[in-house]
Amino acid sequence: VACGSQTIVLGRLRTTRQLCKLCPAPLQHCAKTGLMGGTAAAAGAISGTAVAVALQPFDVVRTRLQACAAAGRPRTAVNAVREIAAEGGAARLWRGTSAAALRVGGGAAIQFGSLRFLRTRSPPDAVNDAFIGAAARGASVVVMCPITTVKTRMEASHVGARQYRGVGDALVTIVRTQGAGALVRGLPPLLLTNVPFAAIHYASYRRLQALGRDYADGWTLNLVAGSLASTAATVATQPFDALRARAMLDLPMPRSLQGLFAGFVPRLAKRPLQTTLIWALFEDLDKRLRTL
C-alpha cells in the first residue's frame, strides 16, 4: 500500500484508520500532501490563464502561418499580423482567447497538481524529473485535447476555417459535422509535441535551478532557468507542433522541411516566454498560497 512517500506491505485491513496507525509517516502527511496539491493546481490555473490571455496574439499568428503554408500560400509573420488586423482591427489578434484561457489555465492546473503529487513520491534526479514532467504534461494534454482543437480552429478563422461564435458553438459544430473523433484527431502529434517538451523543460529547469542557486534566487533564478530550458525544448519539438496544427485543422501533412518549420518564429518568440512566465508566476503564487 502506498501512503505518501512510504510503502507498507500489509495483510487484510478493515478500515483506513488501521492503515494510518501503522503508517510511519506523520499523521498530518496525507492531508498536507493533498492541500499542497490543491495550492499547486490553483497557482497553476491562475498563472496559466493570465499568461495565455496576454500572449494569445503569438498563437493566432503562428496558426495563421501554419494554415497558409498548408494551403500553399506561405506568409511572413509581419504579413500575417497585417492580414489579421485588416480583418477587424488589433482585437482580431486575440481571436480564440476564451479557448486559450480554458486550455492553458485548465491544463496548467492539471499539470502542476500532478507534478506536486508525483514529486512527493519520487527522488529528485534528472531521470525522475524528466519522467514526472512528461507524465504530468501528458495527463494535461489528454484531458484538454478537445479544447486545444477548438482553440486552433478559432485561431484559424478566415483561412478556410469556419467562423465560431464561441467555445460552446465550436464544440457542438465540430461534433455535429465531423463527429466526436475530430476533437481528438490531433492528440498523437499533440502528445509528441508536449511530452518531450515537458521532459526536456522540467529536467533542465530543475537542474539549472540547482546550479544557479549560488548566483541568484527568486524571480531572477526562475526566469533565467525557465527561459533557457524552454528555448531548448521549443526548438527540439517544432516539427511535431507543425504536425499537430495540421491534424487539428484537418489539413494535409507537410512534405518538406520548410513545411515542418512553418510558424516557427512566432512559436519561438512565444513558447519560451509563456512557459517561463507561467513557471515564475506559479513559483511565487504557490509559495504565497501555502502560507495562507
Residue 20 pLDDT level (bands cut at 50, 70, 90) = very low
Other beta carbons within 10 Å of 120:
14
Higher pLDDT, 256 or 94: 94
- DSSP structural state of residue 3: E
Q: What percent of the chain has pLDDT over 90?
A: 46
Question: Which pLDDT does position 159 carry in this prediction?
Answer: 55
- Among 282, 292, 274, 284, which residue's Cα sits nearest to residue 42? 282
198: left (phi over 0), alpha (psi -120 to 50) or beta: alpha
Q: For residue 65, give the nearest of 238, 187, 227, 276 by alpha carbon.
A: 238
What amino acid is encoded at 119 in this protein? R
Lowest-confidence range among 47-61, 66-80, 127-141? 66-80
The stretch 109-122 carries a mean pLDDT of: 92
Q: What average pLDDT does this structure show over 34-56? A: 89
Q: What are phi and psi of 89, to 5 degrees?
A: 90, 180
For residue 200, give every residue at least 6 positions away whose Cβ sits within 8 Å of its Cβ, in sequence order, or none: 130, 229, 232, 233, 236, 237
Q: What is the mean pLDDT of the chain?
A: 83
Domain positions in the chain are 42-290
Cell of 251: 489539413
Q: Which residues contact 31 (CB under 8 A, 6 or more apart)?
A: none
The answer, yes or no, to whether residue 106 has pLDDT greater than 70, is yes
Which residues lie below 8 Å from residue 192, measured CB to CB, with a gap of 6+? 237, 240, 243, 244
Instruction: Check pLDDT > 90 for residue 280.
Output: yes
Does the domain spanning 42-290 belong to CATH 1.50.40.10? yes
Task: Give residue 158's pLDDT band: very low, low, confident or very high (50, 70, 90).
Answer: low
Averaged over 173-196, what is the pLDDT? 91
Three-class secondary structure of residue 2 per DSSP: strand
Mean pLDDT of 199-217: 91
Distance CA 177, CA 207 (A): 47
The residue with cell 476564451 is 98
pLDDT-based confidence at residue 138 (cuts at 50, 70, 90): very high
For the chain, how many residues are written? 292
pLDDT-derived band at 161, boundaries 50, 70, 90: low
**Residue 96 φ/ψ region, left for φ over 0, alpha for ψ in the -120 to 50 degree band, beta for the rest:** left
Q: Which amino acid is at 260?
A: L
Alpha-carbon separation of residue 237 from 89, 197, 279 (angstroms): 32, 6, 19
Span 248-262, mean pLDDT?
77
Lowest-confidence range among 33-47, 87-101, 194-208, 219-233?
33-47
Checking if the pLDDT of 197 tops 90, the result is: yes
Strands (E) across the chain are located at 2-3, 6-7
* This prediction's pTM: 0.77
Q: In this predicted structure, what is the pLDDT of residue 27?
A: 39
Residue 19 pLDDT more than 60? no
pLDDT in tens, 231-245: 999 998 888 888 887
Reply yes or no on whether the pLDDT at 215 is more than 90: no
Q: What is the DSSP letter of 161?
A: B
With a cut of 80, say whether residue 47 has pLDDT above it.
Answer: yes
Question: What's the helix, strand, coil split of the chain in %, to 5?
Answer: 75, 0, 20
| pLDDT-derived band at 10, boundaries 50, 70, 90 | very low
Distance from the Cα of residue 4 to its chain's centroid: 26
d(CA 113, CA 41): 4
Residue 207 pLDDT class (50, 70, 90 cuts): very high
- Pick 83 or 18 by higher pLDDT: 83
- Per-residue pLDDT, 35: 57
205: Cβ–Cβ under 8 A, 6 or more apart, which residues? 225, 226, 229, 230, 279
